[in-house]
Amino acid sequence: MGQLKEVSCLNGHTDRVWNVSWNPTGTTLATCGGDKTVRLWGQEGDSWVCKTILQDNHQRTVRSTAWSPCGNLLATVSFDATVGIWDRRSGEFECNATLEGHENEVKSVAWAPSGKLLATCGRDKTVWIWEISEEDEFECASVLHAHTQDVKKVLWHPNLPILMSCSYDDTIKIHKEDGDDWTSFQTLESHTSTVWSIDFDSTGERMVSCSDDMTVKIWQAYQPGNKEGIQTTGKDATWKNLCTLSGYHSRTIYDVSWCKLTGLIATAGGDDKLCVFEEEVDSTGPTFVLSTAITRAHNEDVNSVEWNPKVTGLLASSSDSGDVKIWQYSV
Amino acid sequence: MASPSAISATPAAPDINEIFDNILLGEDRSQQVGYSEGYQQGLAQGYRDGFTAGKKQGIIIGKKVGYIHGFAISYLTLFETISFDDEKDRSKHRRKIKALCDLIEMVDNFPLSDLQYDSFFEDLEKIRAKYKQVCSLLNVSCTIDDDEEPSYAF
């Protein structure tokens, strides 16, 4: 059994906080929400303080943010249908591009590991893929209309050129480049309600998803020629549901984060609960067991959770209550 | 003993039982006649309504697809008449031209009048998605209105 201890409670947002996102070096936390601002927090001594506020760019809620792999660019997506690209290479963060095209609320954004591609998705049921030219210009490489409902999240595979997306249509879809366009080549069906979030483990061989059906599912990639005899098509792996964790949350599970350092899985839900799961390997194969849980994490829905990419066991979460909290996991 | 066929062969003398039956079952009979008349009228009316509704939808779809086709061909023609300063300049527009060609091809291959075509709406969505990409690449606003029902956004 492990435990989660609250390290810091960050106050500043004046409305619900939708998302938390650590920069690649784990030194800065970007948070955003209903007050249309993005706040960047950093450590000073033992305490976490707000270093910068990015505002006056979006007209409505900022739903999510994503750091480029180099850490110099921050993409922000908003209910105002636009995507903002902030650049800090001049010393301060400046919004130097606004990407338009989504018909309405943009929900999620993700940079490919190469830093050359950006994916966005939203309520208009589409997934957009943007290519970044050498002149730092963003060009739309594809608009994918694969989902039949609101697309909640997009996520790039850590080492393959494939993109995952999950939706209100209860599915997860996988997309890849096909000639000059992009195409969806696999649909993962198992959840019985909205799939809110997904994350990969450190190897990219496994993925975790969380849903409005109050379950967490672990998926495994079966490569061509796998010894289990799972059928594959061409060079692509087939993703299959490996196990399902249920009974831990009593409301929608909004977000999930798979720690690349420790292999721990953290979940956050509408029941104001944070859970941490660890893997146990026994004779029957891998299983995931609850390591620790915080039942009243924020006093309201917990919308987002993310493990720090560099500091072992450091976890950030945000809530409808407007707070952001930093937690330390220890055994 | 007279056989039953011998009785019914004399139409001049209608069977008294039949007359009583007709009176007794009169309500049922007229209900049946009314039902089948109403059914036929309903069929005809339903057909007319369906035809009108289908025609309306068809006009909207036809207009959209036609607009997209004209839009794409106009832009492609424009690009073909531009003389690029150098190869670098041309390569900057490569993606736009490719997307325009793809869009035109998609519209050309779309069986607009084939109602039995299974992936009619699926293909229509693909055309719309490609059109959105083209608009984004050309930096023009997407002018096709969506008549979708509003939904909650979280």
Closest approach of A233 to chain B, Cα-based (Å): 23
Directed axis angle between helix B26-81 and helix B94-108, to 10°?
150
Interface of A with B (CB under 8 A): 79, 100-101, 103-105, 123, 126, 128, 139-145, 150, 180-181
How big is chain A, counted in residues?
A: 331
pLDDT at B2 exceeding the cut of 80: no
Q: What is the pLDDT of residue B20?
A: 86
Query: Which chain B residues are Cβ-neighbours of A103 within 8 angstroms?
Result: 142, 146
**What is the rounded CA–CA span in Å between residue A15 and residue A58?**
15
Write the pLDDT tens digit of every residue in B38-81: 999 999 999 999 999 989 988 999 999 999 999 999 999 988 88
Query: Which chain B residues are Cβ-neighbours of A194 within 8 angstroms?
Result: none
pLDDT at A249 exceeding the cut of 70: yes
Write the pLDDT tens digit of every residue in A260-311: 999 999 999 999 999 999 998 877 777 899 999 999 999 999 999 999 999 9
Cβ pairs A/B, distance under 8 A:
40
**What is the rounded CA–CA span in Å between residue A147 and residue A165?**
9
Residue-wise DSSP of A233-298 = BTTB-EEEEEEEEESS-SS-EEEEEE-TTT--EEEEETTS-EEEEEEEEETTEEEEEEEEEESSSS
pLDDT at B6 exceeding the cut of 80: no
pLDDT at A78 exceeding the cut of 80: yes
- pTM (whole model) above 0.95: no
Any chain A CB within 8 A of the CB of B128? yes
pLDDT at B14 exceeding the cut of 70: yes
Write the pLDDT tens digit of every residue in A1-45: 899 999 999 999 999 999 999 999 999 999 999 999 999 999 998
pLDDT at A207 exceeding the cut of 90: yes
Pick among A139, A167, A178, A212 to test the B interface (most B CBs inside 10 A)? A139
pLDDT at B84 exceeding the cut of 80: no
Per the structure, how many domains does chain A have?
1
Which residue on chain B is closest to A126 by alpha carbon? B129
Q: What is the pLDDT of residue A108?
A: 97
Closest approach of B42 to chain A, Cα-based (Å): 35
Between chains, do B136 and A100 touch, taking CB under 8 Å as contact?
Answer: yes
Closest approach of B56 to chain A, Cα-based (Å): 24
Q: What is the pLDDT of residue B12?
A: 65
Which residue on chain A is closest to B124 by alpha carbon? A145
pLDDT band at B23 (very low <50, low <70, confident <90, very high): confident
Write the pLDDT tens digit of every residue in A84-138: 999 999 999 999 999 999 999 999 999 999 999 999 999 999 999 999 988 889 9
Q: What is the CATH number of the domain that holds A280?
A: 2.130.10.10
Beta strands at A38-44 and A3-10: parallel, antiparallel or unpaired = unpaired
pLDDT at B91 exceeding the cut of 80: no
Query: Which chain B residues are Cβ-neighbours of A101 within 8 angstroms?
Result: 132, 135-136, 142
Q: What is the pLDDT of residue A269?
A: 95
Q: What is the pLDDT of residue A24?
A: 96
**At residue A270, what are phi and psi to the nearest 5 degrees?**
-70, -5
Query: Which chain B residues are Cβ-neighbours of A150 within 8 angstroms?
Result: 151, 153
CA–CA distances in Å: residue A232 to residues A174, A204, A220, A229: 14, 17, 13, 9
Provide the β-strand partners of residue A269.
A253
How big is chain B, counted in residues?
A: 154
